[in-house]
Amino acid sequence: MLSKGKVRPLLVAVVGGSGAGKSWLSRKLQAALGGRAVRVELDDFYHDRSHLSSKERARINYDHPRAIDWIALEHALRDCVAGRSARLPSYDFCNHCRLSATKLLKPKTIVLVEGLWLLRRPSLRRMFGLRIFVDCPARARLSRRLERDAHSRGRTRSSVREQFRRNVEPMHARFVAPQRASADIVLRGQWGEKEIAEIAARLRVQVREAAGPRSRRREEADGRVILTEKSRSLRRRLQF
């Protein structure tokens, strides 16, 4: 239970395909919100595979939602919503194993949670006060994934391309893309600093109003928003 007078942390889901720009957006929002926000990455909640051989690990489809320890994630987020600190795992993508070191999550006013499948499970989806989907073409996502995996995860470019063709895109179409329908905000086209500032402003409004008696009515009244390259009608529909 939260102590009297304390505002419940606002959970924000940042969802999209692999290489869509989820981490970039989350970092930008965190910077725009200053010390009021903290980030959580779904990637840290991949199941530990240290008990398997390297060949067995290589055969696992890590682009399927069952690769995630959903129970551990929900437990950590519920602790956060209740105002309690939580221990988060750390994941080594090169070896597909959890690291022995954990990270301490101290809840702040806004908790940005980024990941591929955050809006699929109803119990988890209901926890988010704002749900953002980053819609990005496959070509751009592959280009970014090639850059990331070759430099930070020790993969060859050919292996990245093969995994993208065999697993990433089929799983994207099946499990990631349908989540657009559950998002409050869909980012597509040429969006950038202006849209980030507007989302940050919306979050500040939600936090302010959560402290008052009208917060529930405002949250229920919020509609679905599409952010295009021209940000058409954004301010009118968000009622800033």
Choose among 18, 137, 22, 121: nearest CA to 73.
121
Phi first, then psi: what are they for 39, rounded to 5°? -110, 145
| 160 in any annotated domain | yes
CB atoms within 10 A of CB 206: 18
- Looking at residues 202-220, what average pLDDT do you find? 72
| Residue-range definition of the domain harbouring residue 131 | 11-238
pLDDT band at 157 (very low <50, low <70, confident <90, very high): confident
Among 170-179, 184-193, 228-237, the range with the most confident prediction by mean pLDDT is 170-179
Token pair listed for 235: 């301010």
Give the separation between CA 124 and CA 153, rounded to whole angstroms: 29
Q: Rounded to the nearest 5°, which phi and psi values hold at 133?
A: -115, 125
Structural domain includes residue 6 = no
In a domain, 3, yes or no: no
- Inform me whether the pLDDT recorded for 11 exceeds 90: yes
- Per-residue pLDDT of 100-149, as tens digits, reads 999 999 989 999 999 999 999 999 999 999 999 999 999 999 999 888 87
Domain count, the chain: 1
Using pLDDT thresholds of 50, 70 and 90, give the confidence band for residue 8.
confident
- Return the C-alpha torsion angle 158, 161, 166, 168, nearest 10: 140
pLDDT > 90 fraction of the chain, expressed in percent and rounded = 70
**Distance between CA atoms of residues 159 and 40, nearest Å:** 28
Q: Please state, in angstroms and rounded to a whole number, the distance separating the CA atoms of residues 237 and 17.
A: 26
In a domain, 4, yes or no: no
CATH assignment of the domain containing 229:
3.40.50.300
- Write out the two tokens for 52: 């398997």
pLDDT at 153 > cutoff 80: no
pTM (predicted TM-score): 0.85
User: For position 145, what pLDDT does the model report?
Assistant: 86
Residue 1 included in any domain? no
Query: Residue 225, by phi and psi: left (phi above 0), alpha (psi -120 to 50) or beta?
Result: beta
Considering only 119-123, 144-148, 191-195, 203-207, which range has the smallest mean pLDDT? Answer: 144-148
Residue of 239 and 221 predicted with greater confidence: 221
Q: Is-contact 149 164, C-beta < 8 A?
A: no
Does the pLDDT value for residue 224 go beyond 60? no
CA distance 185 to 131: 6
The reply to whether 227 falls in a domain is yes
Residue 3 pLDDT grade (very low, low, confident, very high; cuts 50, 70, 90): low
Which of 18, 125, 3 has its CA nearest to residue 74? 125
Assigned domain for 2 exists: no
Summarised one tens digit per residue, pLDDT across range 53-99 is 999 998 999 999 999 999 999 999 999 999 999 999 999 988 889 99
Q: Which pLDDT score, from 0 to 100, does residue 67 have?
A: 96
Q: Is residue 165 part of a domain?
A: yes
